[in-house]
Structure formats: C-alpha cells, structure tokens
Amino acid sequence: MTTYSELPKKELLDLKAALDKEYAEHKAKGLSLNMARGKPAAAQLDLSMPMLDLVNAESACVSENGTDLRNYGILDGIPECKRLMASMLDDDPENVIVFGNSSLTIMYDSIMRFMVFGTQGYTPWSKLDTVKFLCPVPGYDRHFAITERFGIEMVNVPLLEDGPDMDVVEELVKDAAVKGIWCVPKYANPSGITYSDEVVRRLASMECAAEDFKIMWDNAYCVHHLNADTAEQDQLLDIGKACVEAGNPNRYYKFASTSKVTFPGAGVAAMAASPANIDEVRSHITIQMIGHDKLNQLRHALFLRDGEGIAEHMQKHAALIAPKFELVVKMLEEGLGDTGCASWTNPRGGYFISFDGLEGTAKRIVGLAKEAGVTMTGAGATYPYKRDPKDSNIRIAPTLPPLAELEQAMEVFICCVKLASVEKLLEV
Amino acid sequence: MTTYSELPKKELLDLKAALDKEYAEHKAKGLSLNMARGKPAAAQLDLSMPMLDLVNAESACVSENGTDLRNYGILDGIPECKRLMASMLDDDPENVIVFGNSSLTIMYDSIMRFMVFGTQGYTPWSKLDTVKFLCPVPGYDRHFAITERFGIEMVNVPLLEDGPDMDVVEELVKDAAVKGIWCVPKYANPSGITYSDEVVRRLASMECAAEDFKIMWDNAYCVHHLNADTAEQDQLLDIGKACVEAGNPNRYYKFASTSKVTFPGAGVAAMAASPANIDEVRSHITIQMIGHDKLNQLRHALFLRDGEGIAEHMQKHAALIAPKFELVVKMLEEGLGDTGCASWTNPRGGYFISFDGLEGTAKRIVGLAKEAGVTMTGAGATYPYKRDPKDSNIRIAPTLPPLAELEQAMEVFICCVKLASVEKLLEV
C-alpha cells in the first residue's frame, strides 16, 4: 500500500468517506473505554491481596530492631523496609528514607525544600530571579505540574532512544539558572526507553554552572519488566555510583515506590541520596512528621522480602500485562504500519506506549476518540505547560482495560488516527 | 507542715541532707524509666488490633461509592472515612480532607503553603518582612518547631484556665505581622485545659489587622476523655461555626487524627476548613500527590464506624490510662501538697499533666531525674525556642509506663522536685 501522503487528492477523499463511515459506526456503539491512566488492572491488584493477611490481629507488629510498629517512632523507615526499598533503588539501606504511599509527594516536598530552604548551604531557589528545570520530552505530566506550581521555568530537551539529548543538556547547564532535570531513566514515561550507560555518566559528570544542580531520578519502573527473560530486560547504570565517581555525590535524588508493585492506593515510597543529602532531608522531615505508616512498611517487607521476591512478583504482573502491550503494538502495526502517518514505541517494560501521529493531529485524534467513547491521555499532557509544539504525541496506557476492551478501544483509536491524518493531508 | 519557703535555713539544710540521701538511694537502683513522650501504652494499642483483620486477603476493598481502594484515585478521602473524621472534627464531611497518618504533616504543609503561595489571594507570607505567630504557653513543642523552621517569629501568650489570655491576644492581633495562633483547644498539651465558649467566640470574632489571620486549631485530644461520664467531660464550642457567625469563615483550620485512638504509627489524620479553604488545599495537594492510603482509611471506617463507635473505643482507653493520671496526681498531692514548691493540673482528658516548680528549678529537676534514670520531657520544651522564661514548667506524660513503673518514676521525680526546691531556697 502507498503511504497516505503519496495518495492523490481523489483517493484521499474516497478514503475519508470510508473512514467517516467507519467512525460513525464506532460512535454508534456508545462505547465507554479508558486508555488514559497508567493504572494497574484489578487482576494485577489481586496478586498482592495475600499481603493484607501478613499483618493481622494476631501479629506481633514488632520490627526486627524491637520497635513496636504500632506506636510513634522511626522517622526514616523500619530497617526491613529500608532494605527492601534499597534493592529497588539500587543503593545501601543507610542512604534510604522510606516515606508514605507516594513518591510524587517526596518529589514535591524535595522541590519545595530547594525553593524554601535551599540545599547544602546554597541560596534557596525562591530567592533567585529565575530558576529553570530541564524536561526531557515527551515526559511525565505530574513532574511538570510540580515545577510549574513552584514557578520554575521549564525547558524542553528532546528525549532520544538512549535518554535525553546530552549535547543539548550539556549546553543548557552552562546557564546557572538551570537547577535540575526530571528523569524517568528506565522504561520512561511515556516512551519506554532506558537511559544508556553513557547518558547516565554524562549526566553525572557534566559541568553544571549551578553547583546545586539536581538530577530528579524518578525510577518509577525500575522493576517493571515485561519479559521474564533477563536478557530481554533493560539494565540501568546506577546514577548514585556514577555521580560519586564523577565527584558530584550530592547531585542525584533517587525515587521509587511500590505503587505498581503492590497497591497504588496503599504502597510505600522511598528515596535514596548521598549521606549528606539524606541527613539534610531527615533534618527537615523531623519537623514535618513523627514517622510514616510503619505497619504498611512491615506488610511490604514481609510480602516482598527482597529484590528476588520483588522480581518474582513482577513476573506475575508481566504475565498479565505483556499481552496487552503486544496487542496494542500488533494492532498499530497492522492498522497503521503502511500509512506513513504514525510511529510508536515497543517498550520492554513500564506502563506506556508513546505514539506519534502527523504534526498537528494529536489533539484531533484524542478529540475524535473521546467523542466515540474512548478516553485517551490528553494531547499535550506529555509536555511542560501541556504544550506539545508539534501536536503529535499521544500516550497510550494499555494496562487497565481487559484485553477485549483494549481491542475495541484500539480499533476506534486507529480509525481516529487515520481520519485525522487524512483530514490533515487534505488541508494542504 | 510548714511550706519550704518558711523554713529556717537550718531546717532547710537538714532537709537537704535527707533528700540527698534519698536521691542517692534512688540513683543506686539504676532505673531506666520514661515519662517524656505522650505515647500510648502497649495495652492501649492492643485495643485496636481487631482493626487489622477488617481489611484482609478476602476483602472486597471497595468503597461505598464503588471505588477500588487498592488502586489510584480519590484525592481527599474515601466517603466513609470523611464521615468518620468529620465526627471528630465536628464538621460536615464535605468540609473534610483525609490525609495520611500525621496531622503534624498537614499543619507543616499548611504553614508551608501560607509561606510559599499565600492563601485566598493574599501575599505569600515569605514575601513579607516579618511574620509573627501567637503561641499560648505552655504549649506543644512540635507546633513551635514548625513556625521556627519557617522563620516565623513566635510571641508567647499566657494560657489561662479557660484558654489563651484573650486581652493579650486581642491587643497583639492589631499588628498586621501577626498572622496566626497555635491552639490545642481541648485538653491542651500540656496543661489539659479546654477553651471556654467565650474564648472560642473571641478568637473567632476578634479584629485582626491581618485579613489572612489563621487559627491553627489542633484538636488532637477531641475525643480523649478520661471519664466515661459525659458530665465529667469537657465540651468545646466549634470554632468553625463561631468563625462563620462572626463573619470570618476562612479564619480557622481544624486538625485531628486517630494517632491516639488506634495506632500512632498507622492512623489517619484529617483537616476541616471552610469550603473556600478546602478548595484551595485541594488545588495544592492535587499537585503533591494522587491520593493517600485508602485501605487504611477503610480499616478505620470499618473499625470505628462513627462518633458513637469512637466514643465507645475511647472509654476503653480511658479505663487503662485514667488510673495513671490518678496515681500521678495523688502522689504529687501527697508528696508536694504541703511544700508550697509546686502546682500541677488535674485534667479531665488528654495526655499530659502540666507541672510548675519554683522559678528556676525546672531544668535542675529534669537533670536530677535524668541522672537517676528517669527521663522527663526536656525543661523548656513547652515554650517557643525551648525558652521557658521562668524555668518552671515540666510536662508529665503518664500514659506509657505501666503503673508500677510510673509509681517508681514519680517517687524519683518528687524527690528531685524537693531537692531542687531546697537548693533554690538555700541560694537566696
């Protein structure tokens, strides 16, 4: 088949008429399907139900260090859960603080502290005229929402196959107003790519004009492989070791959570950083709280045990969601492979497939899908200020709907992509 | 018996010799006892163990509104838990946001938002030259630590039998730099007093130069009566209604938690405020997180049910801790009643007994006790900047030690009070 852009106008018009008809048929079904949110499906949540029995009315509720976990105390996490989260964060337990159920909150509070108090003796960012943050795009909307809320100016950086475009990054960090970068370094949201060792080393070692430059290393999908075969799993270099080796030990903040391991509504989140940074964070949170939910930390430590326990558990997730990713990629390939109107990623882990349509079609595609009862992530959501300069990127989240619904939703989506593409080509 | 201050020097010296001997005997026992922290005893925590079975591997984990509580979603609390916390906060569920396990964190974050973002369109406090907060004393050290950390200047206000000295407060709030007041309005920490209706109404209606003046209403002990008989329980006027009636609906922020109802390490905390303030808080926390632990909210809603359920449960706590309060008060009365060297409160609820020694003896008493193996709350802790201008106040926390240990600890404490008092009188 010829790609759409090579079709003569007459054939485009015929195609449009056929697509209009198909679209109307989809609409007539009165669907209500959702591919918007990176939410686990109920079957995935069922995998962790046994955890709820591990701390019960008969439990001792005592930590291995003797603390009664029902009572006050332990600011930075119970030892067994610090060890567990250290395995996710690829760090030593003593460099880990375990928080509540949201890594997003840890990141928000970290940015807040940089703004209000500064870090390691440097000027609080709120006292500076301009503060900028680098945002590899497409990226995670909720990162961008945090920096936007604190009045930090966001600068787009292209995300390539192996991480942010480091030539661009190294140029931008010569500006002392550039104070940090958001990273989802493994199975990135939404593109699914993993940073190469070289990119990690360049991030760790690059010359930053701002001495308090921060790498916000949101390793949200660190254990979220889609393949059980380790040869088919991405490997990520540890940013911590890379920063230490480069002589910039205080540059990185690592984040992770069990939100997509156990329960998004009742997981545990944690950070790891240099001893100096961990001490600093501890000195702040000791004013903010007395200690997070230690019984939930115990539940997680008992259920997941260690890195191996996590890996076993994540294979069960993979068994449930890999078929959904395969279905989406197969349908995209079959439906759009020959049209020349779209490209997409085929990730080996994470929660998303990143889709790119023709320039200027993303909003229209999402709008058409919505009208036909299929909710997608809003076009532009993957860019700072919700502004996708090319209006081409759409984030596909395949995990939540059952396979049959996903298939229906993808049929609608593909029809919408074709229709919006033809409309766009007819404009010219 | 004659009060110590009336004793001739000779008799004081004899007394000191006897007390030195008694103190040495206490010291020789090698005790290790703790009356420092307002922590529930293990037997109190046992009361809530059945709660841990209410959400188990067989549970549906679905809210009454149909939400799967294991997954993402619900920013401001599940409906059944909002209703529960509304009963503690004496407010409507729609004015309530349920958070994680710490009301301290809600307060810290509230102050942070006033500083960074301002409230209801008023200038962020961080942009003002001076911000002051009123601190009724003696008060709660962790409140003072929050305002101190954010660089807010703290102004002491005497706490009387019926609440803060309102003549002083009404004078101070004529200063536009005075932006708020910390209040533990019921069974106050540490004095145990409850604000009178008149004080509540005066706080709600007073003319504040700062239009964004905030009453931080930490109702930590709202349901923590020591008596089952309601006639023997303190009643507190609702600050919310009082503020609305006075035409200052946005002046109050109410806080409460189940930390001393179920588990300090795994409870739920909540705030209530005007619809405009709740909307504002919601608009901030939607950037900071996706939702708090909803399974723990469900546990609490199922276990405590409603206001009546809470009251029944709190009677079980009272049965365990009222004898401890009675013992402390009885021993103080018998040991120090005639000395004229001390006064103390006899609260009808809460977690503390507030003790006042002779001026200039509190640090010495706490130091002596420590040396004899009895840890008290640090002298000065109940004052901003840890500075008790009279060095006389000590907070006694009787709940944690078993009765027998409490008796031992109080014997030591009383000996230390006598000894420090005699030393002080001999100085003159």
B145 close contact with A: CB closer than 8 A: yes
A287 CB neighbours in chain B (<8 A) are: 108, 142, 145-146, 149
Q: Please list the ranges in chain A whose pLDDT falls under 70.
A: 1
**Separation CA A386–CA A141 (nearest Å):** 8
B357 close contact with A: CB closer than 8 A: no
What is the average per-residue pLDDT within B249-259?
98
| Res A163: pLDDT | 98
List the beta strands (DSSP E) in A176-268. 178-183, 214-218, 252-257
Query: Of the candidates A86, A85, A62, A57, which has an alpha carbon nearest to the alpha carbon of residue A74?
Result: A62
Q: Which residues pair with A353 in a beta bridge?
A: A396
Helix boundaries (H) for B34-128 = 42-46, 79-89, 103-116
Least CB–CB distance from A287: residue in B52, B126, B149 = B149
| Res A1: pLDDT | 62
B266 CB neighbours in chain A (<8 A) are: 69-70, 293-296
Least CB–CB distance from A50: residue in B50, B57, B294 = B57
State in Å, rounded, how far the first CA of chain A is from the last one: 21
Instruction: Supply angle C-alpha A204, A143, A132, rounded to 5.
Output: 60
B344 close contact with A: CB closer than 8 A: no
| Res B428: pLDDT | 73
Least CB–CB distance from A105: residue in B50, B104, B289 = B289
| Res A2: pLDDT | 80
Main-chain phi, psi angles of A358, to 5 degrees: -60, 150
Mean pLDDT of chain B: 97
Give the A window 58-87 contacts with B, CB below 8 Å.
58-59, 68-74
B65 CB neighbours in chain A (<8 A) are: none
A307 close contact with B: CB closer than 8 A: no
Q: Which residues contact B167 (CB under 8 A, 6 or more apart)?
A: none
Q: Do A69 and B287 touch (CB under 8 A)?
A: no
| Res A197: pLDDT | 98
Coil, helix or strand at residue B113: helix
Q: How far A71 CA sits from the closest chain B CA (Å)? A: 5
For residues A103 and A272, the answer to whether their CB atoms sit within 8 Å is: no
Q: Positive or negative, the Cα torsion across B368, B371, B376, B379? A: positive
Residue pointed to by tokens 């946005």 = B250
Coil, helix or strand at residue B109: helix
B59 CB neighbours in chain A (<8 A) are: 52
Whether the upstream peptide bond of residue A124 has omega within 30° of 0, thus cis, is no
**Separation CA A165–CA A83 (nearest Å):** 34
Query: Of the candidates B276, B270, B245, which has an alpha carbon nearest to the alpha carbon of residue B258?
Result: B270
**ipTM of this complex prediction, to 2 decimal places:** 0.96
B376-388 pLDDT, tens digit per residue, is 999 999 999 999 9
B120-158 pLDDT, tens digit per residue, is 999 999 999 999 999 999 999 999 999 999 999 999 999
Choose, out of B288, B298, B377, B400, the residue to mutate when testing the contact with A (most A CBs < 10 Å).
B288
A390 close contact with B: CB closer than 8 A: no
A287 close contact with B: CB closer than 8 A: yes
B156-198 pLDDT, tens digit per residue, is 999 999 999 999 999 999 999 999 999 999 999 999 999 999 9
Q: Do B265 and A289 touch (CB under 8 A)?
A: no
Q: Position B179: which residue type?
A: K
Q: Do B102 and A290 touch (CB under 8 A)?
A: yes
| Res B1: pLDDT | 62
The model's pTM is 0.97
Q: Position B271: which residue type?
A: M
Q: Do B73 and A292 touch (CB under 8 A)?
A: no
Query: Of the candidates A302, A329, A284, which has an alpha carbon nearest to the alpha carbon of residue A119?
Result: A284
